Structure 1
Amino acid sequence: MRFEALLGIDVGTSSCKALLLDPSSQVLATHSADYPVLNPHPGWSEQDPECWIAGAQAAVRGALSKCPGVKIIAIGLSGQMHGLTPLDKDHTVLRPAILWNDQRNADEVAAITEAAGGLESLLAQTNNPMLTGYTGGKIAWMRRHEPELYPRMRHALNPKDYLRLRLTGEVATEVSDASGTGLFDVRNRQWARPLIERLGIDPEILPPSHESDVITGRVSVEAAEAFGLEPGIPVVGGGGDAVIQTLGSGVIDPGDLQTTLGTAGILAAALDTPAVNPKGRVQVFCNIAPDRWHAMGVSLDGAGLLTWFQAIAGELADGAGNVTIEKLVERASKSPPGARGLVFLPYLSGGRCPHPDPHARGAFVGLTRRHGDADMVRSLLEGAVYGLRDMYDAMASLGLGRHRIVTSGGGTRSTLWRQMQADIFGCDVVTTDGAEAGGAMGAAMVAGIGVGIWADASTAARLRRTETRCSFNPELQETYTRMFTIYQSLYPLLRDSFTQLGHPGFDAGVAGA
């Protein structure tokens, strides 16, 4: 006997996840497939788009194998945002995709801002600054540095939209991912065509943009065979991962916050209007619901901070012990709140929000002989949360509420890290049954909205159930207020030093070059 399900596919930075969701919003199965990230030069981050396709095929087939007899009624797509996948007229990939965390195009970003008439003029046209992570700067970089390839580019797609092309043969995107290009008029939910033309970019290389719940194509016969699907299944627009995963967590109405501690650290909230972006310090995108917008701050380093420290600790252990993430978190629990006066600035990959600075660096501040490994690890965890709280302060003028935080990402498997969020923000922190699945859950839910399973995003979001809750401890408020105030003061003091340390000669190991 056959039964129906929705399929959500999330093209992440390090893996692709497929999720099957039944019409009552119960998860039937998930499956993931990993793939590598390429770092050919310091600050560069690239990926072979074929990895996404192979990963998606493995993830989909793996999920389907766990549910024999399932009938897929719609597919939704999610994926890492901002990446540039350049294609020629035959849809052949011209070069490895340039990813969201790539930092190579600072000069192009500055030139785009100047050509737009300055920051205020740019914000008037898009409601967002141009950041090094955004697709627009990557297009400009390719035009300047790869003149043999750039004239051949006929399509500039984000990662999930390249998967859509391979599934359906259709070139398309939707409003949330389009917002993250830096070339989109977020207020009016359309491409900022006058700006694009002013920058000398051919508007035709940008795909048609739809609302996120619109059916944008159907699975082709060729793709059906490659993915183990039936031909003709509708593929809904979907959403950029940082936006769509809020729906998967149950956050779509104003008042709640969502945090993500994955590779990146993200703070997000839904808005009723495209609020004015205060000095361009945050990101204001179109939400996946047509009557909602999305306010977001992003740190390039979230739970990845702990992975970085784990690698260092493993090298120092030299095989003498298994340095797991769980052991590191256990060590952090031995240090008191505030890490004995030790602060960590979480800028290992540069800054994004509220400090869009590719030269920003990570730093332990306050180290003394009395500090041990437990204090250092705890300061990493606290530093990631201070970064999220810093984003919240930058977004305060948007009128955000703070009723509760719904948290997600690998970092939130740790009760300690969830409790830190509650104590540093001063509100309850919960996880929901959809948060762990991230963008794949949101993609499946948007697919359901697109084919009429649920009336709208708010109806779908209410189906997510609370799994865990951490309430904040008022007795820690003074400690964390003092530590956070110190944290906020440090970047402005160190900014010039970070710029000097970002000289290419230092990265190359040639001091003073």
Structure 2
Amino acid sequence: MPRIENRLSNGDHILGIDIGAGSCKSILFGKDFTIKSSAQQEYLHSNPQPGWDELDPNYWWRNVANTIKETIKKSNLPPESIKCVGIAAETDGIMPVDREGKPLRPYIHWLDSRCIPQHEQIQKRFDPDKIYDITGIPLHVGWWSPPALKMLWIKENEPEIYSRTHKFLQIGSYILYKLTGKFANDYSTASRTLLFDIKKLEWSETIEDLFNIPISMQPDLYNSTEIAGQVVEEAAKLTGLSTNTLVVVGGGDTECSALGAGVMSEGQALISIGTSLMIGIPRSEPTLIPKGPDRRLFGTGLVCTSHVIPNTWILEVGCLGGAMLKWFKEEFGYTETQMAQELGLSPYELLILEAEKSHPTPNSPVCALPVETIYNLNLGHKKKDLIRCILEGVAFEAQEVIEVAEKYGKKIDNLTIVGGGAKSDVWRQIIADVTGKPAKSPFMTETAAYGAAMLASVGGGIYQDLRKIPSLKSYFNTPREELNQTYRILFKKYKRICHLLRSDH
């Protein structure tokens, strides 16, 4: 489709939208990237069968539209003042739509695990190494299935729906369609599908032939700063946006979060701590891990995707992260939960304050999160020691990823920590001490929306260069050599435990 000029609106405000797994957030920025207003809405998933996880796309769109409308209302600015919109969205779900862009079934979410038979079928029929060499995605049977396997599931289990499918859309592409009426996708989002050639940056005809899913069923591809279109009238009525506002293609939430946090070049790494731990490491060329245990890291392996920055790729991996801290809070944190309610705090704040009282030694307990094991607990250990070892376990996961990434690429010089866990200075310091690398954490936690707005500002012509946009102010944590020495001993124990207990050993 023809590219859109960036002169349609005279405004200079930028809207960044972050569409995550459990909520969506819209943030309105001024030209200098100061926040003018924001709004957030959560949404519910449905689980019609065990292992299934779905969302009603129309309900999802209404939530996104409502956050935009509320954000504009809170700002007291006219809709015409918003020049451009950028979108960051989760990338690993899929849904089929007809020629009018109407969903033919609920969105199959990235948490959905119904595709294990398709996973096993592909591994038996085709060479996983060949697929990895083209797509950058290690094909291991597990809880995570790339969108292409969800497409195969629909083709095999819902043939009537498949026969009416015009396009398969990830959620970012669907919201782009609702805003502009155009079917568009960016390289970072497309590179998560298992249908994308990570070296050529195009839909792969080879994979198309293997899976027998036509490339014509995928959206057109664009750079993340390109304009998909301007807001259509129906979307303008629902969102309050002007029909002159430009909609920039945007990108995947991890890549946009990395951009927003300033993680743009080799030598940097993004660590996002939530219920899961997501790590992203920029590369100047596609980086593929040789066949062996490193490729199977944490089950899914390091996925090589396109960054939202031109001529840049990013190694990504997700792992257990803060899930064990959540488990500890629910099973053993009754006192902290009650106190937190009385004090108006998060129970996690109180748990982490307790962890700060513990001091690591070579004989401390070791939390090996990949195998869900805590080793070396004894009767002398207290609650504070157990909490701290869980925080350290997340840092050990990050260190394991860093070691593998450095083995096959440039040394990582510094870390940027985002997500809910980044609010804790204790946790940030533990990560710096374990890795031996300086770490920073932006004051602003919504780095995905910030990154989406950065992309929009370049696409809309407000800025010419992503690197010229004001960077976020940050906290800084410097590694302490004496604790790094202790953690090296504990990390060796962590690796030994994981080696002994992982299912492939």
Q: With structure 2 as the length reference, what TM-score do the two structures score? A: 0.88
| Structure-2 separation of matches of 1:320 and 1:430 | 30
| Structure-2 separation of matches of 1:328 and 1:145 | 46
From 193, 215, 220, the equivalent of 2:227 is 215
Residues 99 and 133 in structure 1, CA contact (< 8 A), matched pair in contact too: no
Per the alignment, residue 69 of structure 2 pairs with 61
Letter in 1 for 2:109: L
Pair 1:175-2:184 in alignment: no
Provide Cα deviations, 1:312-334, integer angstroms capped at 9, x if missing partner: 34679997984711111122222
Aligned with 1:391: secondary structure?
helix
Pair 1:453-2:462 in alignment: yes
Provide Cα deviations, 1:381-410, integer angstroms capped at 9, x if missing partner: 111221121111221233233221111111
Per the alignment, residue 260 of structure 2 pairs with 248
Once the two structures are TM-superposed, the CA of residue 277 in structure 1 deviates from its matched residue by: 3.4
Per the alignment, residue 490 of structure 1 pairs with 497
Once the two structures are TM-superposed, the CA of residue 191 in structure 1 deviates from its matched residue by: 0.7
Q: Quick one: structure 1 residues 482 and 39, their matched pair in 2 at CA, closer, same or farther if it must change by over 3 Å?
A: farther
Once the two structures are TM-superposed, the CA of residue 308 in structure 1 deviates from its matched residue by: 3.4
Structure 2 residues not aligned, in runs of 5+: 1-9, 296-300
Structure 1 residues not aligned, in runs of 5+: 348-360, 499-513
Per the alignment, residue 358 of structure 1 pairs with none
Paired residues in the alignment total: 479
From 126, 133, 136, the equivalent of 2:135 is 126
Residues 304 and 316 in structure 2, CA contact (< 8 A), matched pair in contact too: yes
Q: Sequence identity of aligned pairs in percent?
A: 28
Per the alignment, residue 330 of structure 2 pairs with 311
Letter in 2 for 1:307: K
| Structure-1 separation of matches of 2:334 and 2:472 | 41
Q: Quick one: structure 1 residues 320 and 20, their matched pair in 2 at CA, closer, same or farther if it must change by over 3 Å?
A: closer
Q: Quick one: structure 1 residues 318 and 61, their matched pair in 2 at CA, closer, same or farther if it must change by over 3 Å?
A: closer
Letter in 2 for 1:75: V
Q: How does 1:247-396 map to 2 (within 5 A)?
A: 247-279=259-291, 280=295, 281-299=301-319, 301-313=320-332, 322=341, 324-337=347-360, 341-347=364-370, 362-396=372-406
Comparing 301-310 with 160-169, which one deviates more in the overlay?
301-310
Per the alignment, residue 356 of structure 1 pairs with none
Residues 241 and 438 in structure 1, CA contact (< 8 A), matched pair in contact too: no
Comparing 311-320 with 37-46, which one deviates more in the overlay?
311-320
Q: Quick one: structure 1 residues 309 and 141, their matched pair in 2 at CA, closer, same or farther if it must change by over 3 Å?
A: farther
| Structure-2 separation of matches of 1:42 and 1:364 | 29
Q: Quick one: structure 1 residues 212 and 497, their matched pair in 2 at CA, closer, same or farther if it must change by over 3 Å?
A: closer
Per the alignment, residue 101 of structure 2 pairs with 91
Letter in 2 for 1:203: I
Per the alignment, residue 503 of structure 1 pairs with none
Q: Quick one: structure 1 residues 317 and 410, their matched pair in 2 at CA, closer, same or farther if it must change by over 3 Å?
A: closer
Comparing 260-269 with 417-426, which one deviates more in the overlay?
260-269
Aligned with 1:182: secondary structure?
coil
Q: Quick one: structure 1 residues 376 and 99, their matched pair in 2 at CA, closer, same or farther if it must change by over 3 Å?
A: farther
Once the two structures are TM-superposed, the CA of residue 41 in structure 1 deviates from its matched residue by: 4.7
Once the two structures are TM-superposed, the CA of residue 199 in structure 1 deviates from its matched residue by: 1.1
| Structure-1 separation of matches of 2:275 and 2:362 | 23
Once the two structures are TM-superposed, the CA of residue 339 in structure 1 deviates from its matched residue by: 9.6
| Structure-2 separation of matches of 1:442 and 1:80 | 14
| Structure-2 separation of matches of 1:252 and 1:143 | 38
Per the alignment, residue 298 of structure 2 pairs with none
Q: With structure 1 as the length reference, what TM-score do the two structures score? A: 0.87
Aligned with 2:463: secondary structure?
coil
| Structure-2 separation of matches of 1:50 and 1:412 | 33
Letter in 2 for 1:311: E
Residues 89 and 155 in structure 1, CA contact (< 8 A), matched pair in contact too: yes
Once the two structures are TM-superposed, the CA of residue 110 in structure 1 deviates from its matched residue by: 3.2
Q: Quick one: structure 1 residues 318 and 384, their matched pair in 2 at CA, closer, same or farther if it must change by over 3 Å?
A: closer
Residues 129 and 182 in structure 1, CA contact (< 8 A), matched pair in contact too: no
Aligned with 1:496: secondary structure?
coil
Aligned with 1:149: secondary structure?
helix
| Structure-2 separation of matches of 1:297 and 1:338 | 29
From 462, 479, 482, the equivalent of 1:475 is 482
Once the two structures are TM-superposed, the CA of residue 337 in structure 1 deviates from its matched residue by: 2.6
Letter in 2 for 1:236: V
Per the alignment, residue 31 of structure 2 pairs with 23
From 178, 201, 218, the equivalent of 1:189 is 201
| Structure-2 separation of matches of 1:428 and 1:318 | 32
Residues 245 and 439 in structure 1, CA contact (< 8 A), matched pair in contact too: yes
Q: How does 1:17-166 map to 2 (within 5 A)?
A: 17-70=25-78, 71-116=81-126, 118-130=127-139, 132-166=144-178
| Structure-1 separation of matches of 2:333 and 2:502 | 31
Once the two structures are TM-superposed, the CA of residue 73 in structure 1 deviates from its matched residue by: 0.4
Q: Quick one: structure 1 residues 24 and 89, their matched pair in 2 at CA, closer, same or farther if it must change by over 3 Å?
A: same
Aligned with 2:41: secondary structure?
strand
Letter in 2 for 1:25: F
Aligned with 2:454: secondary structure?
helix
Residues 362 and 486 in structure 2, CA contact (< 8 A), matched pair in contact too: no
| Structure-2 separation of matches of 1:146 and 1:343 | 47
| Structure-2 separation of matches of 1:316 and 1:327 | 10
From 434, 447, 462, the equivalent of 1:424 is 434
Letter in 1 for 2:418: S
| Structure-2 separation of matches of 1:396 and 1:304 | 26
| Structure-2 separation of matches of 1:338 and 1:128 | 38
| Structure-2 separation of matches of 1:278 and 1:22 | 45
Q: Quick one: structure 1 residues 339 and 263, their matched pair in 2 at CA, closer, same or farther if it must change by over 3 Å?
A: farther
Aligned with 2:12: secondary structure?
strand
Per the alignment, residue 238 of structure 2 pairs with 226
Letter in 1 for 2:329: Q
Letter in 1 for 2:264: I
